[in-house]
Structure 1
Amino acid sequence: MDKFDVLRKYFGYSSFRKGQEEMVDCLLSGRDALGIMPTGAGKSICYQVPAIMFGGVTIVVSPLISLMKDQVNALVQQGVKAAYINSSLTDTQYDKVLKNAALGIYKIIYVAPERLESVSFINLCRRIKISMVAVDESHCVSQWGQDFRPSYLNINKFISMLPNRPIIGAFTATATDEVKKDIINILQLEDPAVVTTGFDRPNLFFSVLRPAKKDNRLIELIKERRDKSGIIYCSTRKKVESVCDLLIKNGFPATRYHAVLSDKERVKNQDDFVYDRKLVMVATNAFGMGIDKSNVSYVIHYNMPKNIESYYQETGRAGRDGQEADCILLYGAGDVQTCQYFIENTEPNPQLTPEQNEMFKKREEERLKHMIFYCRTSDYLRNYMLRYFGDEAEENCGKCSNCLTKFETVDVTIEAQKILSCIIRTGQKFGATIISDVLRGKTNDRITSFGLDRQSTFGIMKDSKPTEIRYIIEKLEEQGYIISVGAGKPILRVTEMSYPVLKGKAKVNIKKTRKFKSHIERVNIDETNSELFDALKVVRTYFAMKRGVPAYIIFSDATLADMCKVMPVTPKEFLEVKGVSSIKLEKYGEAFMRVIKEYGKSDNDEKSKKYDVAEMRANGLTGAYEPWSEKEVEKLRFEYEVGIPIEKIAKNHGRTKGAIRSRLKKEGLIEE
């Protein structure tokens, strides 16, 4: 089989996405490669297709237990022998994986980086043929990346211990130029092909909101998305608890995830979310890496993340199936202090020198500054983010709240002169709150103790609201007229750019005022097929429950949507649906095509069409649409004829009572 045969047979696609084919070709030619592709762009296809074609085994290094489970589940459903090795396995399970691997059963083995030091695993890998090592989340190898993991430094040592050097493929969604160089150098990639597809996720809509009351705004946002699956990120465990309680109190099916929960509860809560038993996950950033749940329709950040890299990764968990999704950030001034506190109180990395730790801290502060500017900018949000990663951006993306907001350009030169003058006359040693109080003529203990009420700038903006002054200060900082110095409670200082403004030789213009807008697109299905989509979801849920995998492992929402568009009723037509492989056609084709046929029969009979779907919903997780084998039908006839109750028959066959009655009717054993 060539690469296209593999892509079609195992993954159900007739063509590669941008960058995928180039990565596949590089690896198949025996050349090392580094792929920098956005979350949801299909990085796994880049190493899975070559892995299936290579003669030996591919080792995939990943720090994400949840990703390993999801990927292995998906591969097994697609007919590919795969396994994972991580801390979730018992000793017995671990020994079984090693034994099967030694027998050549697996094509792909996912492994946690810590396991690369295991003597038993190293001995196994020295006995079998390792064709390729794929390093997922490869930015974790860099000490300057936002997710440095010391265990990643074991990868190159592990490779050096193998009898023959395998091909190495490295993959990441976030990498600045410096991190990119680190990946190449530390993993010792040999003349690698570097494939960068860009960082844009065109199906994601970005919004920044600055609500007076976050809880109230959050409830409004969730109500608008009541039937959708989403993630809400909070900066602290305490906030996760309070937000989750708030949602449950308001009737939303929510659960929680943070580091202090027991392993048992974290696993249960994550499974509830992945299997759609709970639609909303409230979590710290400890949740989500490696979660391949395809139908996440929105990601809401209750608090601002500490850097754009983290924000990009976390928002990337939305819209992985290609459908439109929302990424909303609820920004508040308190978020800045929280992030600064975390930076100030981060434990030094023992593997770095004091000088390196100090440099890393300064870089974290610089990253935070870019994140703050993102939240405050009047520029197009997508463009701001893409430029941060060195990517090109269109003038107007049309897919962010700033694009859809009408801004008025206002000359604030006089206000800027007053603010800049106040900063200078108070000695450039106070923060935005004190400066605002002085300008408004507010008297308090701090103002009088420093004698600021005697300054010439005291009260010169007494008619201005504090929010207006703070907004102009933000814009002056964004445009480079002032800078914030220090963490915790930073002080304001003017830059050289300020003096022409103070002398009346330069003007300051800002955009105001913004009216924020939230946005979401529903699944792009013809309205006349919405009932068919719901019916297909019922069948998908049945198969998912029976096989013990998340629904999206069977088929994604995007694949079901394409079924509604293509309306396949023959195997050939079913293979035309995006995401349908020959393996899945064999497993599920008959069941899904039967529903589509029944839907199509009643084009002119709306009552009949609605009755079919309603009956499926009433039956719940029905097996009526799963093919019956001759042996199973023979057993059913025997059980019924000897008088076994239908409830018992249903239990024997693993089907519902409604499914059993439907088959008995078809066999003529009971009347319609």
Structure 2
Amino acid sequence: MTKEEALKTYFGYDAFRGGQEPVINALLSGRDALAIMPTGAGKSVCYQIPALLLPGITLVVSPLVSLMRDQVTQLVQMGVPAAFLNSSLTFKQYLLALSRAKEGRYQIIYVAPERLETEGFLDFACHANISLVAVDEAHCISQWGQDFRPSYLNIPAFLEKLSRRPPLGAFTATATPEVREDIEKLLGLQDPLRVTTGFDRKNLYFEVREPADKRLELLELVRSRPDQCGIVYCSTRKAVEEVCGLLQEAGVSATRYHAGLEPEERQRNQEDFLYDRARVMVATNAFGMGIDKSDVRYVIHYNMPKDIESYYQEAGRAGRDGLPSNCILLYSGRDVRTAQFLIEHGESREELDAETAERLRERDMQRLRKMVGYCRTRYCLRQYILQYFGETAPDTCGTCWNCLHNFEEVDVSREARAILRCVIETGQHFGVSVIAETLCGAETDKVRKYHMDEEDTYGLLRDLTQKEVRDRIRFLIDEGVLALSPGPYPVVLLGERAEDAVLGGLYMRTVKEERPAARRPIPEELDGAQAELFGRLRALRAQLARRQGVPAYAVFSDKTLRELAVVRPRTIDELRSVSGIGDAKARRYGKQFLAELSAFED
């Protein structure tokens, strides 16, 4: 069987996506490979196809139980013998799976990195014919990655203990150039093929909002999408509880996920979301890695993440099927303080010396500043993300909120001089809000407490709103005219470019005119008959999924059902021509779907 035949037979696709084929060719020829591909770009196919064609076993090192379970479920649906070995199995289940592995009954085995050093698994691995090792989420091996896991450092030692070193493939969705170098060095990749397909997900629409009331904004966003699946990310367990309760009280079918829940509830809630029993998942960043639910139409960040890597990975869980999907971040200054607190008081890294731990903390702070920059930029959001990951990008994408709105360059030199004067006059002792209140002539408790109403700059910018002044202060911070002190309660300081405010000529981008219809254009909707048929096919899919105890998307994706509703195949052969329908699925579900299509025609 060729790789093209395997792709069609098992996955139901006629052609490889960008970057997949060279990685597959390298691994099949025995060469190591490093693949950087965004979420939803098909990284798993890069090692699953070689696993089907190579004679022995492929080991996939993966960090999360949910990732393994989901991948194995889909492989079994496609007719591929696969299993996972991790802590979710009872000891008896683990021994049974290991025994079957020794008998050669699996082509692909997913394993947690911690398992590599156990005596029983090592004994199996040293006697098995391992033809390929794939390391998923490879950024976890780097201390400079956003999700460092010390257990990943044991992978090279495990490979040395094997009787023969198989080719090694390393895969990740988010890695800066520095992290890529770390992956290659620490895993000991030998003359690897390096493939970076690009981080751009053209089907995703990006937007940052700064609402006065996040709760109301979130309710509006979710209620406007009643039939869509979505994920709402929060930065803390407490926020997850509050937001999930808010949605449930509003009649939204929502569930929750965070590390403070019992494992049984986490598993149950995750399955409710995967099986469409709950339309919205409210979660911390503990949820989502490896969850291959293809029909997530929106990801809303209720709180700003700590770094661009985390944001893009989490946002990328929308639209994995390639259909238009929304990524919306609800930003507030409080998010910055929360993120700073989590960095300062996060999990202790006992395995690191004090100097390294401090360097990592400072690196986390640098990442946070980049994340804040994303939330504040008036320029193309897509360009900001792509440039962060080392890619060149056009000035405008035409599909993010910033590009779809009409901006103008406004001279803020007058306001900048007033702000600078206020900061100097008050001794560089106050935060953004107090400076804005003072300049706008507000009569607040803090203004009275600190006698700010006695300053010469009190009310100097009363022609602007406090939000407009805060926006200008943040612009000056981004430009280096001002700076913020470190710590949980930052105060406004003079920046390296403070003299620029005196010289003038400072221009800030502001929204000139709102365009109510400015949203990412949705492709043509299915017509009346097609939409009705699509609904019937979804109902059939749900029925078959419940009967087999698998998520609906493991039967067919929404994209496949839409194509079925348009093409309306009449035979099994015609059915196989539809994207996403391989031989195993055609045999398993073909008759039922053809019968439904035929009944609709009648």
Same fold (TM over 0.5): yes
Give runs of aligned pairs for residues 232-631 of structure 1, distance below 5 A.
232-442=232-442, 454-504=454-504, 506-512=505-511, 515=514, 521=522, 525-601=526-602
CA distance 1:574–1:317, shift in 2 (3 Å): same
Name the SS of the counterpart of 1:362 in structure 2. Answer: helix
Q: Residues of 1 paired with 2:250 and 2:429: CA distance?
A: 45
8 A Cα contact 2:258 2:284, kept in partner: yes
Name the SS of the counterpart of 2:58 in structure 1. Answer: strand
Name the SS of the counterpart of 1:402 in structure 2. Answer: helix
Q: CA deviation at 1:453?
A: 5.0
Q: Residues of 1 paired with 2:132 and 2:429: CA distance?
A: 57
Counterpart amino acid of 1:538? A
Name the SS of the counterpart of 2:406 in structure 1. Answer: coil
Aligned to 2:96: 96
Name the SS of the counterpart of 1:407 in structure 2. Answer: strand
Q: Residues of 2 paired with 1:344 and 1:429: CA distance?
A: 22
Name the SS of the counterpart of 1:403 in structure 2. Answer: helix
Q: CA deviation at 1:209?
A: 1.3
Q: CA deviation at 1:12?
A: 0.5
> What does the per-residue CA deviation read over 1:603-634, in whole Å, with 9 as the maximum and x for residues that have no partner?
xxxxxxxxxxxxxxxxxxxxxxxxxxxxxxxx
Aligned to 1:83: 83
8 A Cα contact 1:62 1:110, kept in partner: yes
CA distance 1:514–1:122, shift in 2 (3 Å): farther
Q: Residues of 2 paired with 1:563 and 1:463: CA distance?
A: 59
Aligned to 1:184: 184
Q: Residues of 1 paired with 2:406 and 2:442: CA distance?
A: 33
Q: Residues of 2 paired with 1:234 and 1:520: CA distance?
A: 28
- Higher Cα Rg: structure 1 or 2? 1
8 A Cα contact 1:209 1:328, kept in partner: yes
Aligned to 2:18: 18
CA distance 1:210–1:522, shift in 2 (3 Å): farther
Which moves more between the two structures, 153-162 or 53-62? Answer: 153-162
Q: CA deviation at 1:597?
A: 2.1
Aligned to 1:648: none
TM (norm. structure 2) is 0.96
Counterpart amino acid of 1:510? R
Aligned to 1:136: 136
Q: CA deviation at 1:183?
A: 0.4
Identity of aligned residues (%): 51
Q: CA deviation at 1:570?
A: 1.4
8 A Cα contact 1:83 1:108, kept in partner: yes
Aligned to 1:161: 161
Q: Residues of 2 paired with 1:508 and 1:408: CA distance?
A: 9
Which moves more between the two structures, 424-433 or 559-568? Answer: 424-433
Q: State how many pairs are aligned.
A: 600
8 A Cα contact 1:409 1:512, kept in partner: no
Name the SS of the counterpart of 2:319 in structure 1. Answer: coil
Q: CA deviation at 1:156?
A: 1.1
Q: Residues of 2 paired with 1:355 and 1:450: CA distance?
A: 39
> What does the per-residue CA deviation read over 1:3-45, in whole Å, with 9 as the maximum and x for residues that have no partner?
1011111110111001011111111111100100000000000
Q: Residues of 2 paired with 1:21 and 1:220: CA distance?
A: 43
Q: CA deviation at 1:426?
A: 2.9
Q: Residues of 2 paired with 1:503 and 1:368: CA distance?
A: 30
Name the SS of the counterpart of 2:401 in structure 1. Answer: coil
Q: Residues of 2 paired with 1:507 and 1:263: CA distance?
A: 54
Q: CA deviation at 1:464?
A: 2.9
Give the root-mean-square deviation of aligned CA atoms. 1.8
8 A Cα contact 2:407 2:509, kept in partner: no
For structure 2, the 5+ residue unaligned runs are none
8 A Cα contact 2:477 2:495, kept in partner: no
Q: Residues of 1 paired with 2:285 and 2:521: CA distance?
A: 23
8 A Cα contact 1:411 1:510, kept in partner: no
TM (norm. structure 1) is 0.86
8 A Cα contact 2:72 2:84, kept in partner: yes
Name the SS of the counterpart of 1:421 in structure 2. Answer: helix
Name the SS of the counterpart of 1:171 in structure 2. Answer: strand
> What does the per-residue CA deviation read over 1:397-425, in whole Å, with 9 as the maximum and x for residues that have no partner?
12211121112321111011111222233
Which moves more between the two structures, 439-448 or 396-405? Answer: 439-448
Aligned to 2:216: 216
8 A Cα contact 1:428 1:493, kept in partner: yes
For structure 1, the 5+ residue unaligned runs are 602-672
